[in-house]
């Protein structure tokens, strides 16, 4: 038995876990965080092989108004730069920039089709995929070549932003998430200093893999590869995929409604391909570059990181099934395809990168994917169910449990605060009341 005088054990030192731990401590609870990895942060981590930190996971603040990440960035001295979406450049298959008015007209048609598709899905006897619901209203074969390119870019959006192909998304509910206003920003100094700032005030046991949680009448036993810990209550913040794959054994088992909700939700995939070149050869003033997709397994969306840290870096994004295929290839194979795509656009004389890395989030044993989404048959109610305590001693947080702001850093953080509040308001009373 490991000694701990913690009242609450938090499983996982990501934004949800550290958010909850700091908040509970402020409320006077004794808290200890058990973390499987040899570092804090979870889906927040840096690569330093370029000589400075670059995020392998989250890099964006989505919505600057009312976002706790802005306040945390300021508190820990982390700078960020707003993203001007007016400087997202989209190119056709001949390498020509598509004029904004053509983009806007396509966008309007597509947005209208999404509204029709949603209505269609609501009236259907059962949920269907976004692809099936869109089919009657949006016919790719009837599109001009430029529109077909734009349609592929849209599909890339679902794959990247949502982490799943539109064939997998619930037509009824895929877009149930709220956006914070105020535009987006990219953290120049990455999220890691924020995570480390939060962790500095917490007691975190690294390299501690939780394998089982046993809830008893008078406490909770948490079994790990480092021995057994005991506490009055436990907050679980591990990613959805680990709950789906039953990596932690719960005794008694989780309520059936909760298990079903966990099964219905989806874990999406989003990967980053970072390339540092000896010089800039792309549009310096651009923020993002969207190229025509020549090869279904190549990366065609890039962020121009020169605008973030004045280094000649392109960050390629891929998501969904495409990202899964790409991450199964070797680094050399991925690089060859990325360079082939860039050469089609910028000519054969562009230099090879001097450094690069490719993330493979589905192969990460403590994440097994990037972030959650709502597949066919799932709804935001499943996120609410995941958020429900399984007993007066067993609580759940994490991005997937945030009904309105899933798949984000602020959503994860807020889910941790939500459970800290819940533990404060109910747990001590319920646990200590006579049985
Ligand atoms: C590539 C990528 C890009 C992203 N981009 C953005 C972005 O730009 N902006 C944004 O807002 N969001 C983004 N996100 C999403 C955001 O990173 C996540 O929503 C958020 O970080 C999740 O925090 P969490 O605390 O819920 O989970 P996690 O950060 O995954 O924390 C859970 C912790 O539990 C630990 N754990 C797992 N199993 C065990 C176990 N058995 N025992 C003990 N510990 C365990 C894990 O190691 C991990 O540290 C991105 C995610 C990825 C992967």
* pLDDT per position as a tens digit, 287-298: 999 998 777 788
Long-range contacts of 297-304 (CB under 8 A, 24+ apart): 297/322, 297/325, 297/326, 297/329, 297/337, 298/337, 298/338, 298/340, 298/341, 299/273, 299/326, 299/337, 299/338, 299/341, 300/153, 300/156, 300/341, 301/153, 301/156, 301/160, 303/186
Claim to verify: residue 299 and residue 177 sit in the same structural domain: yes
Claim to verify: residue 248 and residue 315 sit in the same structural domain: no
Taking the C-alpha atoms of residue 11 and residue 119, their distance in angstroms, rounded to an integer, is 41
Q: 7 alpha carbon to ligand 1 midpoint, in Å?
A: 24
Atom 20 of ligand 1, residue of closest alpha carbon = 409
Closest ligand 1 atom, residue 397 Cα: 26
Instruction: Report helix, strand or coil for 317.
Output: strand
Claim to verify: residue 276 and residue 258 sit in the same structural domain: no
The b/e string for 291-306 (b: 16+ C-beta within 10 A; e otherwise) is bbbeeebbbbbbbbbb
Residue at 193 is within a domain: yes
Atom 35 of ligand 1, residue of closest alpha carbon = 12
Claim to verify: residue 159 and residue 306 sit in the same structural domain: yes
Whole-prediction pTM value? 0.96
Taking the C-alpha atoms of residue 299 and residue 414, their distance in angstroms, rounded to an integer, is 32
* Residues within a 6 A CB radius of ligand 1: 11-17, 34-37, 42-44, 57-60, 62, 209-210, 237-239, 242, 247-248, 270, 272, 359, 361, 366-367, 370-371, 398-399, 407-409, 412
For residue 435, what pLDDT is reported? 34
Instruction: Report helix, strand or coil for 409.
Output: helix
Claim to verify: residue 90 and residue 154 sit in the same structural domain: yes
For residue 382, what pLDDT is reported? 98
Closest ligand 1 atom, residue 271 Cα: 1
**Which residues, in sequence order, are bridge partners of residue 223?**
212, 228
For residue 428, what pLDDT is reported? 56
Instruction: Report helix, strand or coil for 434.
Output: coil
Taking the C-alpha atoms of residue 67 and residue 51, their distance in angstroms, rounded to an integer, is 30
Closest ligand 1 atom, residue 43 Cα: 29
**In which element (H, E) is residue 268 found?**
strand 266-268
Domains held by the chain: number: 2
Closest ligand 1 atom, residue 411 Cα: 19
Nearest of 223, 220, 198, 210 to residue 35 by alpha carbon = 210
Claim to verify: residue 242 and residue 279 sit in the same structural domain: no
Look up the domain containing 348 and give its range. Answer: 85-181+270-363
**Which residues, in sequence order, are bridge partners of residue 61?**
185
Residue 423 backbone dihedrals phi, psi, to 5 degrees: -65, -45
Claim to verify: residue 383 and residue 401 sit in the same structural domain: yes
CB 280 within 8 A of CB 287: no
Q: What angle do CA 412, 418, 421 make, to 5 degrees?
A: 145
82: its two tokens: 């707003």
Q: β-strands 219-224, 210-216: how paired?
A: antiparallel
Atom 2 of ligand 1, residue of closest alpha carbon = 57
**N- to C-terminal Cα separation, the chain:** 26
For residue 86, what pLDDT is reported? 87
Residue at 293 is within a domain: yes
Pocket test for ligand 1, best of 22, 35, 42, 270 (most atoms within 8 A of CB): 42
Q: 367 alpha carbon to ligand 1 midpoint, in Å?
A: 7
Pocket test for ligand 1, best of 20, 238, 316 (most atoms within 8 A of CB): 238
Residue holding tokens 């349609």? 151
What sign for the dihedral angle of Cα 7, 415, 316, 173?
A: positive
Cα dihedral 163, 209, 416, 235 in deg (nearest 10) = 130
Residue at 1 is within a domain: no
Give the CATH number of the domain where residue 152 resides: 3.90.660.10
Closest ligand 1 atom, residue 69 Cα: 11
Claim to verify: residue 213 and residue 251 sit in the same structural domain: yes
Closest ligand 1 atom, residue 56 Cα: 1
Closest ligand 1 atom, residue 399 Cα: 26
The Cβ of residue 343 has, within 10 Å, a number of other Cβ atoms equal to: 12
Atom 14 of ligand 1, residue of closest alpha carbon = 58
Residue at 407 is within a domain: yes
Atom 39 of ligand 1, residue of closest alpha carbon = 36
Taking the C-alpha atoms of residue 366 and residue 208, their distance in angstroms, rounded to an integer, is 12
Under-50 pLDDT residues of the chain: 429, 433-435
Pocket test for ligand 1, best of 11, 43, 403 (most atoms within 8 A of CB): 43
Claim to verify: residue 161 and residue 276 sit in the same structural domain: yes
Taking the C-alpha atoms of residue 202 and residue 32, their distance in angstroms, rounded to an integer, is 7
Query: DSSP character for 365?
Result: T
397: its two tokens: 């947080």
């Amino acid at each position: 038995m490991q000694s701990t005088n913690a009242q609450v054990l938090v499983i996982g030192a990501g934004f949800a876990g550290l958010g909850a731990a700091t908040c509970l401590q402020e409320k006077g609870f004794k808290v200890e965080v058990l973390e499987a990895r040899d570092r804090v942060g979870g889906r927040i981590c840096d690569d330093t092989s370029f000589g400075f930190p670059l995020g392998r996971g989250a890099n964006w603040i989505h919505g600057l108004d009312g976002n706790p990440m802005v306040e945390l960035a300021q508190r820990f001295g982390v700078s960020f730069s707003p993203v001007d979406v007016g400087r997202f450049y989209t190119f056709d298959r001949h390498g020509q920039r598509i004029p904004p008015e053509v983009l806007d007209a396509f966008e309007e048609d597509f947005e209208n089709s999404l509204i029709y598709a949603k209505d269609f899905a609501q009236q259907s006897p059962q949920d269907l995929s976004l692809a099936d619901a869109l089919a009657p209203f949006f016919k790719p074969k009837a599109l001009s070549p430029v529109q077909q390119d734009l349609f592929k870019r849209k599909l890339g959006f679902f794959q990247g932003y949502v982490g799943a192909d539109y064939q997998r998304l619930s037509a009824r509910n895929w877009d149930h998430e709220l956006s914070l206003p105020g535009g987006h920003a990219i953290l120049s100094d990455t999220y890691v200093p924020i995570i480390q700032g939060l962790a500095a005030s917490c007691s975190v046991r690294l390299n501690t893999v939780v394998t089982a949680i046993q809830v008893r009448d008078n406490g909770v036993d948490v079994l790990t590869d480092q021995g057994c810990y005991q506490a009055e209550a436990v907050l679980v913040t591990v990613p959805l995929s680990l709950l789906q794959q039953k990596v932690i054994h719960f005794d008694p088992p989780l309520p059936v409604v909760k298990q079903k909700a966990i099964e219905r939700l989806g874990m999406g995939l989003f990967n980053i391909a970072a390339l540092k070149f000896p010089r800039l050869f792309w549009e310096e003033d651009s923020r993002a570059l969207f190229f025509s997709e020549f090869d279904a397994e190549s990366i065609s969306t890039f962020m121009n990181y020169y605008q973030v840290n004045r280094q000649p870096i392109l960050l390629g994004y891929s998501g969904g099934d495409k990202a899964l295929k790409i991450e199964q290839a070797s680094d050399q194979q991925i690089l060859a395809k990325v360079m082939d795509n860039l050469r089609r656009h910028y000519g054969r004389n562009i230099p090879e990168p001097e450094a690069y890395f490719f993330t493979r989030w589905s192969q990460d044993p403590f994440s097994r994917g990037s972030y959650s989404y709502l597949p066919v048959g799932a709804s935001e109610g499943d996120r609410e169910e995941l958020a429900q305590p399984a007993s007066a001693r067993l609580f759940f947080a994490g991005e997937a449990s945030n009904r309105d702001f899933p798949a984000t850093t602020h959503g994860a953080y807020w889910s941790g605060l939500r459970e800290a509040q819940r533990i404060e308001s109910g747990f001590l009373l319920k646990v200590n009341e006579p049985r």
